[in-house]
């Protein structure tokens, strides 16, 4: 799948290739046939979308980013964005399967040893394992460098102690990329990254959080109580973990942008179809110009956000120096768009939109998290401003 789009290195221009269209069609067929029918139940229960995982894994869309040398598809970043977008169009919780598999494994791909890559990436590529990412703590969210989780070398093992919070897909993932301080006196330069397996002694998962949205994706605390892992499961050199974490977010924030675009697109389509059918004053409410303007603005915002996500993905594929700005921008623009569009979708459906008979209220609840995780939009605006002022 690599190299299936054209780019201009100077301006980040891209052109979707024919293959991208095939991918979109294939994922959409799976999403509508095997994921959408369960989306409301997944939200209501709530429960993990096992049907989505099975369908995506069977089709090879659960972790398309894994390089071919580790049994993966080796898909380009735009393909990955399209997969997340199309799944999120029907179920945001399910879209976190490919999105978080990438988030959790990207540190290994960027900085891990070949030994570690050969241990953990092939099971991910084959769908035998899922990956999560563990950076945040209750008192170290936006200020991630103030984390208190520790890792100490003990002979040929590392021993971890601490707690991580808000860990997406915790309890269903096999592997967790964990950031911990190996030199507490060195600030962010004393943070290292490790891969923890769910069966490692001293590792455990807490109770799921009770959330506003994305209820099908379990979010829990994870605990390390003298958690012992092999020495080789450090990601990169000691002290490089925070830099790896930030580089990872450059590559994965755009996936949250893709998720947000998908949520917004799904809500827009429901609203568009509804106003064409709903009649008031003797005619479809789509005939009223005020509602037409709302639909036009919704479509305008969605397409602008989609283009920003794809530009960021093209830059990620080339690892361009301005990726940090574009990835943060894509995440901010798309998530703000998702919140705006889903809110308007509820409004267009009126009282019906406020009920669970239609999916737009779920989509509005799901959209909110896209403005919060992988860096709040306030933090991402700081990231963008710093890049501009360099």
Q: What is the pLDDT of residue 2?
A: 40
CATH topology of domain 243-388: Butyryl-CoA Dehydrogenase, subunit A; domain 3 (1.20.140)
Domain pair 5-125 / 131-241, same fold: no
Strand-pair partners of 133? 177
The set of catalytic residues is 374
How many Cα neighbours within 13 Å face the side chain of 183? 13
Q: Kindly report the pTM of this predicted structure.
A: 0.96
Task: Catalogue the long-range contacts made by 180-187 (C-beta closer than 8 Å, 24 or more residues apart).
Answer: 180/147, 180/149, 180/150, 180/151, 180/224, 180/241, 181/147, 181/148, 181/149, 181/150, 181/151, 182/150, 182/151, 182/152, 182/153, 182/238, 182/239, 182/241, 183/238, 183/239, 184/150, 186/239, 187/145
- Mean pLDDT for back-to-back runs of 10 residues, the chain (390 residues): 42 83 98 98 98 98 98 97 98 98 98 98 98 97 95 98 98 98 97 98 98 98 98 98 97 98 99 98 98 98 98 95 97 98 98 98 98 98 97
Q: How far apart are the C-alpha atoms of 201 and 223, rounded to whole Å? A: 11
Q: What is the pLDDT of residue 12?
A: 61
Residue whose structure tokens are 């080339």: 318
Beta strands in the chain (DSSP E): 5-8, 13-16, 131-134, 150-154, 157-168, 175-181, 191-197, 203-205, 219-230, 234-235, 279-280, 283-284
Q: What is the pLDDT of residue 9?
A: 39
CATH topology of domain 5-125: Butyryl-Coa Dehydrogenase, subunit A; domain 1 (1.10.540)
Q: What is the pLDDT of residue 11?
A: 56
Domain with residues 131-241, CATH architecture: Beta Barrel (2.40)
Q: What is the pLDDT of residue 15?
A: 86
Question: In the structure, how many helices (H) and strands (E) does the chain have?
Answer: 11, 12
Domain extents for the chain? 5-125, 131-241, 243-388
């Amino acid at each position: 799948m690599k190299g299936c789009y054209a780019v201009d290195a100077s301006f980040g221009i891209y052109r979707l290739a024919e293959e991208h269209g095939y991918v979109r069609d294939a994922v959409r067929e799976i999403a509508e046939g095997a994921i959408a029918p369960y989306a409301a139940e997944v939200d209501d229960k709530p429960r993990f979308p096992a049907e989505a995982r099975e369908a995506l894994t069977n089709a090879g869309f659960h972790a398309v980013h894994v390089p071919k040398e580790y049994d993966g598809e080796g898909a380009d970043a735009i393909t990955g964005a399209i997969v997340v977008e199309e799944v999120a169009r029907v179920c945001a919780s399910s879209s976190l399967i490919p999105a978080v598999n990438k988030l959790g494994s990207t540190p290994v791909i960027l900085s891990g040893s070949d030994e570690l890559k050969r241990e953990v990436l092939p099971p991910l590529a084959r769908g035998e394992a899922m990956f999560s990412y563990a950076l945040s703590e209750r008192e170290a969210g936006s200020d991630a460098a103030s984390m208190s989780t520790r890792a100490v070398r003990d002979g040929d093992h590392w021993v971890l102690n601490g707690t991580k919070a808000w860990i997406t897909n915790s309890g269903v993932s096999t592997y967790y990329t964990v950031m911990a301080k190996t030199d507490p006196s060195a600030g962010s330069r004393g943070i290292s990254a490790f891969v923890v397996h769910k069966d490692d002694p001293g590792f455990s998962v807490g109770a799921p959080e009770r959330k506003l949205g994305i209820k099908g994706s379990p979010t829990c605390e994870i605990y390390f109580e003298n958690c012992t892992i092999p020495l080789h499961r450090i990601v990169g050199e000691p002290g490089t973990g925070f830099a790896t974490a930030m580089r990872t977010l450059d590559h994965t924030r755009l996936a949250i942008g893709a998720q947000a675009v998908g949520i917004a697109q799904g809500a827009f389509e429901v609203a568009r179809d509804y106003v064409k059918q709903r009649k008031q004053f003797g005619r479809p409410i789509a005939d009223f110009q005020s509602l037409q303007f709302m639909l036009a603005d919704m479509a305008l915002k969605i397409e602008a956000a989609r283009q920003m996500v794809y530009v960021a993905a093209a830059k990620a594929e080339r690892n361009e120096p301005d990726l940090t700005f574009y990835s943060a921008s894509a995440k901010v623009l798309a998530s703000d768009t998702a919140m705006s569009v889903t809110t308007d979708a509820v409004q267009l459906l009126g009282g019906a939109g406020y009920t669970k008979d239609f999916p737009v209220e779920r989509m509005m609840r799901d959209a909110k998290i896209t403005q919060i995780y992988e860096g709040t939009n306030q933090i991402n605006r700081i990231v963008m401003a710093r890049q501009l002022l360099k």
